[in-house]
Amino acid sequence: MVTLEAAFARMARPVAVGGLLLLVAAGLGAVSPIARAADCSGTETGMTPLDALGTEGYKGLPGGLYPGGQDQPPRSHARLAETRAGRILPRDASGAPDPSGAVVLLSIGMSNTTQEFSTFRRLAAGDPRLHPALSIVDGAQGGQTAADIRDPAARFWEVVDQRLSAAGNTAAQVQAIWLKSANRQPGADGNPDTLPAARRLAADLEAVVGVAGQRYPNLQLIFLSSRIYAGYASSSLNPEPYAYESGLAVRWLIEAQIDGTPALDPAAGAPILLWGPYLWADGLRPRADGLQWACEDFQADGTHPSDSGRAKVAELLMAFFKTDAASHGWFMAPGPTASPTPPTAEPSATRLPTRGPVGTPIPAPVHLYLPRLVDR
């Protein structure tokens, strides 16, 4: 089966294959980053967010989140996503349709991911408009990079199983995933060309998608996000431009599915890959929607988000899942079309009230279960 990984192994120099720039993957060193205070002078890089890049291009590559410089998926891909979204419905522990079952939205990723998603979960717990069948489970874990979790035998996946069980859910109920990951010290090989690291990340993400597809038989959709801004980073853990270029890795992965890479073939059961919220903005230089990243949005290392940074991502996630065509129907409770709303206060409990049906293809009443909030 042809995969991005196999394509990398056949390439000795960058070439275009099916719209993807591929390069042989180099091994990473074991150098540990040195902890220092955030560099609050790094207020911008001059780079343009991918969704605003247009024809300007970046290192000879086009802008856009999807092929052809577009920020929306091709219509054929969007139709596939809508079809798969229509298959998301409450399921019992064995995965059989059950009006009193659950729809699990699971996070997969690293430390930033669990920090941001745990804040999103608290935000969700205070919103009575979410679908009562929805169970939001944080599977992301600190210190677990894409290169680590691409291994189906990695301890990471055992911990995800434990968290699903603690939430009262099973692998058969996982139907949508938010995947956000990166690799530690992507510049450790000393290569002044940073794009090979993005290509390695794309291959690692492809492998992670494969593992998820094997573990979760009812998985329909994977929403991907790339890194937040890293211009304040004070170590080599994952600074710019690697954070920015992780967006290229996500785009290449989605493009590979659109272009027909066999390992990602929806006809063979692979989940549909889509962008979730795009999180990168150039520091204090605001995006068109006003998003900017200040030094106080980060912890002391300038890499991990502070409470304010986590809140920004949580609000972007909430707005996205409430309104996206591939998520609205199973994320929101039956009723009028919702629009993004400001965050609500954190509740002391994590269980939402039961609501009755209001004419929806997803049965009710059922319950939303949110597991204990444990950041790791």
Q: Residues 112-146: pLDDT tens digits?
A: 999 999 999 999 999 999 999 999 999 999 999 99
Please give the pLDDT value at position 35.
Answer: 53
Q: What are the residues whose beta carbons fall under 8 Å from the beta carbon of 224, sequence distance 6 or more? A: 178, 179, 180, 205, 250, 253, 254, 273, 274, 275, 276
Give the pTM.
0.83
Please give the pLDDT value at position 277.
Answer: 99
User: How far is it, in rounded angstroms, from Cα 82 to Cα 10?
Assistant: 35
Q: Which residue in 165, 148, 187, 199 sits closest to 17, CA to CA?
A: 199
- What does the block give as tokens for 19? 């719209």
User: How far is it, in rounded angstroms, from Cα 244 to Cα 241?
Assistant: 5
Residues of the chain with pLDDT under 50: 8, 10-34, 338-376
> Over pLDDT 90: what percentage of the chain?
78
pLDDT tens per residue, range 152-185: 999 999 999 999 999 999 999 999 999 999 999 9
CATH topology of domain 74-331: Rossmann fold (3.40.50)
Q: Which residue in 226, 375, 237, 376 sits closest to 302, CA to CA?
A: 237
Please give the pLDDT value at position 9.
Answer: 52
Q: How is residue 162 annotated by DSSP? A: H
